[in-house]
Structure 1
Amino acid sequence: MDVFPFPGSREALLSALKKSGLSDEIQRLLAAQARPAILLTTSGCDEEALPLGATKIGGRPDLPADKAWPRRPPYPDAEKRAAAHRREADRLLEDSRKPKSWMTLEQGDRFSQERRDNADAVEREFPLAFLGQFDLSDLSTLVGFDPAFPDHGRLLVFYDYLEQPEDFTEAASVGWRVLWDDTPDAELIRAPIPPELFAISDEKWSCVFTAARATSHTIWTPIPPSDSSWSAFPLDDEDALEAYQEWLSDFGTPDMADRDNHQLCGFPQPLQNGLQATSQLVANGIDCGRREAWQSEEAVRLLADAKDWRLVAQIGVDPNAGLNGPGAYYVMMRDEDIRAQRFERARVIYQCD
């Protein structure tokens, strides 16, 4: 499937919308609502050749000398998580011994041991995997950089790639860390990778990623129909919705290996619904993995402000970094927290189609 990059200007986006078959009025509204974003294009590199603090996906984070590699504590519900992993380990081992199993004995042993490693990991302190860093000093020079963000320092994203914590419970919130650091580049060090991350990695799977050099340019991102501020046309207009979604599909999704999948700010390209709504409920203490949680009076009241959440960064599949998917990672924050530089309140949501 051939995919096209998002246009580099609002005018170019409006021109592209003519292919959608939507009315001129809807096209103009969609173009007016579009948000600029900074798209990252990656390439393989020797990490030692990258300047300290430069934008990159994967590799080793550039941190102040007195800042340790971020680690999460044991999950608050570690006992429940570990028990689920061990049950799955037993099931995989048993299934691999059945006649005509889809697994070989060797695979059954390996998959089962991986699950037992997961169980052990959720019960103890563990280092988070490093997904990438954004050099805001450099990116702020581009047209479309969001002035709500600091124009200096770096944004670093760490995530529990081993556990892939769910987005709908507060207990999962220990599974990521988003840091903003404005230490001068000359005072940074390239942090060594914790041995625990190497210990659970092999040639078939790893949560240690290869550094990928990033270049950047401005794009204009159209609003997805799942956004809480959607107003272009009623979503029960099936013909219009189908036409718009078909037009969006021409640009691909961030779980595809043959496109550029990382961006700073703008509208996300979600693989599922609920980025804003789930963030809003869980940040306000509502575990929303069950339908009943969404129907409570408190949830309905809170969801009126789901529109305050927006994309900080999107990190998708990247063969250059060894981020082979499936799925993509979305860093979400409230507007007020971005402006106040409270990046510790960010939520990282993993979605997989």
Structure 2
Amino acid sequence: MFDTPADAQAQLAQHFARPQVERVVAALVPTLVFRPLPTGKGSLGGTRIGGTPDLPPGLTWPRRAKPADAEAIAKRGNAEAGEELRRHFRKELPYAFFAQVDLGEAQGQARGRAQGLAKELAKGLAKGSAKGEGGPAAALPGHGRLLFFYDLVAGPWDNGTESARVIWDESPREGLAPQTMPADLAAAADAHRAEIAKINRPFKRPLPKPDSGTPYGGPARPMSLHATLRPPAIESLEMDARPALKAALALRTDGGERFRDAYQDLFSKAFDSDYGTANAGRRNQLVGSPLPEQSGPRVEAEVVSRFGVQHLERDKIEAHRAETDAGARTWRLLLQIDIGDFLQEDGEGTVYFLIRASDLAERRFDRVVAVYQQT
């Protein structure tokens, strides 16, 4: 959103009073965002969203086995959705491939951000702002690739570890080979497009293109990573860590309400799909503070991990609020992907890949929890 604290100060001054600008700049959170590369500019092992991964010999595309609680998951939807989930689980398809992240590129951007902030701090331009020592990707491995897979058919009904697979591939780039989509996954994608065409044809609506996105995969798009600074969402844990800013946004006076409205408007225009399809891609990010569609996704990750349920009832929320909130602070965002942007078609929701800080330090990517949210 902002390249530097000085850039943030200049832009925010157009919307807020000086004390408000200072509070927002002090709360800026470093993150890495994706920017599309021109067609044909992708590289073997490079960062991309959608398409297929580059894998070394011996590493196969992960496949989801039928879950032990398949019937419980199916019952979370209505009758039609439940039957679709049962059919889906019986097929035991591979996961949809979501993204490939070049960790060397991520670390390079992180170091560049840290060095840039250090220079601004030395000049006094970034006083009080998020310093981001080591950069936003400092906790990630420094080499190889992270490969993100997700079950987009069942995942929205099934927050947890089983709806996603995240693999850290450390193999040398020269040993990689581009993959083709597994035959049964490709067949499912073709069947989905055929069903959409059958529905659209009588109404003379556009028919799906042969490479259009489906729940089984999105179009291949090479990306580059860029370090940026974002103010925290009002509902985020990072906002909780800035009590002065949170209090100013909560003021019931006219000035406070105007500040809150302007702050929310800033977010809406930057990230909400209601302001145009270009905003969908702006929600995609690596690490940093999540952009929630509902409550904080880290709270949902803690709930499903601690209690083994998708959501807590209201009385249990209050009874366990302290421990749940404390646990949520131990989770870190790895990747956030906007579904509409992933599909490059109509689609709703955001998928968050989250990991506990201790598991990230131990490189236990098998413990990643996927959380789906939709407004």
TM-score, structure 1 as length reference:
0.80
| Matched residue, 1:349 | 371
Flag structure 1 segments of 5+ consecutive residues without an equivalent.
1-5, 90-114
Identity in percent? 27
Say whether residues 1:214 and 2:223 are aligned partners: yes
Report the alpha carbon displacement of residue 298 of structure 1 after superposing the two structures with TM. Answer: 4.2
| Matched residue, 1:64 | 56
| Matched residue, 1:249 | 268
Which of 102, 110, 122 matches 1:135?
102
1:328 alignment partner AA? T
- Pair 1:322–1:247, CA change in 2 (3 A): closer
> Separation in 2 of the partners of 1:33 and 1:344?
32
Report the alpha carbon displacement of residue 181 of structure 1 after superposing the two structures with TM. Answer: 1.3
1:289 alignment partner AA? H
Report the alpha carbon displacement of residue 176 of structure 1 after superposing the two structures with TM. Answer: 0.7
Report the alpha carbon displacement of residue 83 of structure 1 after superposing the two structures with TM. Answer: 5.8
Report the alpha carbon displacement of residue 15 of structure 1 after superposing the two structures with TM. Answer: 2.5
> Separation in 1 of the partners of 2:152 and 2:143?
28
Which of 132, 135, 148 matches 2:139?
148
| Matched residue, 1:201 | 189
> Separation in 2 of the partners of 1:344 and 1:64?
19
Say whether residues 1:75 and 2:95 are aligned partners: no
- Pair 1:324–1:61, CA change in 2 (3 A): farther
- Pair 1:199–1:136, CA change in 2 (3 A): same
For the 8 Å contact 1:59–1:210, the answer to whether it is kept is: yes
> Separation in 2 of the partners of 1:123 and 1:293?
36
1:1-353 matches, cutoff 5 A: 6-21=1-16, 23-43=17-37, 45-46=39-40, 50-82=42-74, 87-88=79-80, 116-123=83-90, 125-142=92-109, 143-144=112-113, 145=135, 146-166=137-157, 172-202=160-190, 203=193, 204=196, 206=214, 207-230=216-239, 231=243, 232-234=245-247, 236-238=250-252, 239=257, 240-253=259-272, 257-259=277-279, 260-261=281-282, 262-292=284-314, 294-295=316-317, 297-317=319-339, 322=344, 324-353=346-375
Report the alpha carbon displacement of residue 120 of structure 1 after superposing the two structures with TM. Answer: 1.7
2:151 alignment partner AA? D
> Separation in 2 of the partners of 1:185 and 1:25?
49
- Pair 1:173–1:165, CA change in 2 (3 A): farther
SS in 2 for 1:325: coil
Report the alpha carbon displacement of residue 55 of structure 1 after superposing the two structures with TM. Answer: 0.4
> Separation in 2 of the partners of 1:283 and 1:147?
25
> Separation in 2 of the partners of 1:268 and 1:302?
17
Report the alpha carbon displacement of residue 252 of structure 1 after superposing the two structures with TM. Answer: 2.3
For the 8 Å contact 2:103–2:141, the answer to whether it is kept is: yes
Per-residue CA deviations over 1:200-245 (Å, capped at 9, x if unaligned) read 2233362222210112322111111111242222364351432321
> Separation in 1 of the partners of 2:310 and 2:74?
21
Deviates more, 1:141-150 or 1:50-59: 141-150
SS in 2 for 1:200: helix
> Separation in 1 of the partners of 2:360 and 2:312?
29
For the 8 Å contact 1:78–1:123, the answer to whether it is kept is: no
> Separation in 1 of the partners of 2:48 and 2:340?
11
1:73 alignment partner AA? A
RMSD: 2.7
- Pair 1:82–1:330, CA change in 2 (3 A): closer
Report the alpha carbon displacement of residue 44 of structure 1 after superposing the two structures with TM. Answer: 6.3
- Pair 1:252–1:279, CA change in 2 (3 A): same
2:174 alignment partner AA? A
For the 8 Å contact 1:149–1:338, the answer to whether it is kept is: yes
- Pair 1:83–1:218, CA change in 2 (3 A): closer
> Separation in 1 of the partners of 2:24 and 2:344?
35
For the 8 Å contact 2:354–2:369, the answer to whether it is kept is: yes
> Separation in 1 of the partners of 2:329 and 2:98?
26
SS in 2 for 1:233: helix
For the 8 Å contact 1:253–1:269, the answer to whether it is kept is: no
For the 8 Å contact 1:136–1:154, the answer to whether it is kept is: yes
1:139 alignment partner AA? A
SS in 2 for 1:71: coil
Per-residue CA deviations over 1:298-333 (Å, capped at 9, x if unaligned) read 453232232222322222256686364222222222
> Separation in 1 of the partners of 2:76 and 2:25?
47
For the 8 Å contact 2:340–2:346, the answer to whether it is kept is: yes
For the 8 Å contact 2:45–2:145, the answer to whether it is kept is: yes
SS in 2 for 1:141: helix
2:251 alignment partner AA? D
